[in-house]
Structure 1
Amino acid sequence: MARPKSDDKRNAILSAATQIFAERGLAAPTSAISNLAGIAEGTLFTYFNNKDGLLNELYREIKLDLADAMMSGFPRKKSVRTRLRYIWDRYTTWGVSHPDQRKVLSQLQLSGSLTLESKKAGSAPFSEIEAMSEEAVEQRILRDIPLEFLAATMDASAQTTISFMTSHPASAEKYQSLGFETFWKGISRK
């Protein structure tokens, strides 16, 4: 009879994968992940069918962690600007606090290894942001910008902001505010 899978081992594998992929890129061998996790390489494949399975699960885990950071306490009854600022602050703070996850998430999104199912699962927790943005365009608060472009613009602006926050920790709040103001002026009608 097969031994039951351990959440601790699964989490150790995902943590090791994050660190290894952040340091070496997604082409890093699974043996490096197994070594760092303190398990036999065959054990990794007990938890994940193959490397693509590991990559997809890691993507979902990082997206869930990010969603938890961004959406916890989301001020649903506030103005669009206030809600976007909340999302901005939570995203940039998460990015500064989780540099390895941020780096791996960027790699995964460009990798071509993600399944449609993983992409849907990764975007599902953010559907409220999408709906808010669509409403804001209809209400003429935001410019009529395709949502994919709006999201990509926000991400690029946030990455720049995170870089400055990381490089200048004493001025992190200043750069966080400056980044949001620059982003807001680019997307709002007012």
Structure 2
Amino acid sequence: MARPKSDDKRNALLLAAEQVFAERGLAAAPTSAISKQAGVAEGTLFTYFRTKDELVNALYRSIKLELADALMAQFPRRGPVRHRLEYLWNAFVDWGVANPQRLNVLDQLSVADIVTEESKAVGYEPFAEIEALALHSIKTEILQAYPCEFIAANMKALAETTMGFMNAYPDEAGRYRQIGFDVFWNGVARDKA
């Protein structure tokens, strides 16, 4: 009879994959290095994930769902759009500053061809509410009529720039956090007030 799979081992393999991908990049990360980092035999990795692609997709989903929890668990469903977007900004910046390795790996996975459409859909689903807010805000002329994907990409890029400044200048982290959001808001809002 086969041994039951352990959540601890599965999580150790996901964490090891994250660490190895952060150090080597996705393409240059063999499963043997991931197994070694996790402290298990390479065959054990394939007990939990049939292929490296399956491992990559599981890691992508895991990180996206963790990020969704960080952003959406206390997301204000009501109130001015600016305040709701600023909440998302702060939650994303907090998560990224606390998890730079995970953010780096998520950036790699987000452009990886081996991440399936199914995994992308699972990763996107918790964020659908944000897209709905953006679309409504465009329709009601609170935000500029830019494509939602463009707004999201700009928010992410400015947030990551902000994180870099916050890490480089920790004594001024709060100032850079606010500057970053103000630059984002002024770029997408119709009324800059």
Q: State if a TM-score over 0.5 links the two structures.
A: yes
Residue 185 of structure 2 corresponds to 184
Q: What's the CA shift string for 1:61-116, capped at 9, x where partnerless?
A: 00011011111211111111000000000001100100111000000111211100
**What does residue range 4-153 of structure 1 map to in structure 2 within 5 Å?**
4-27=4-27, 28-153=29-154
| Alpha-carbon distance in structure 2 between the residues aligned to 1:176 and 1:113 | 34
TM-score for both structures, normalised by structure 1: 0.98
SS in 2 for 1:111: coil
| Alpha-carbon distance in structure 2 between the residues aligned to 1:29 and 1:167 | 32
Aligned residues: 190
Dislocated runs of 4+, deviation >3 Å: none
Residue segments in structure 2 that go unaligned for 5+ positions in a row = none
| Alpha-carbon distance in structure 2 between the residues aligned to 1:40 and 1:185 | 52
Post-superposition offset of 1:166? 1.2
SS in 1 for 2:111: helix
Aligned Cα root-mean-square deviation (Å): 0.7
| Alpha-carbon distance in structure 2 between the residues aligned to 1:46 and 1:165 | 41
1:156 aligns with 2:161: no
Post-superposition offset of 1:5? 0.5
TM-score for both structures, normalised by structure 2: 0.97
Letter in 2 for 1:74: F
| Alpha-carbon distance in structure 1 between the residues aligned to 2:89 and 2:112 | 25
Residue segments in structure 1 that go unaligned for 5+ positions in a row = none
Identity %: 56
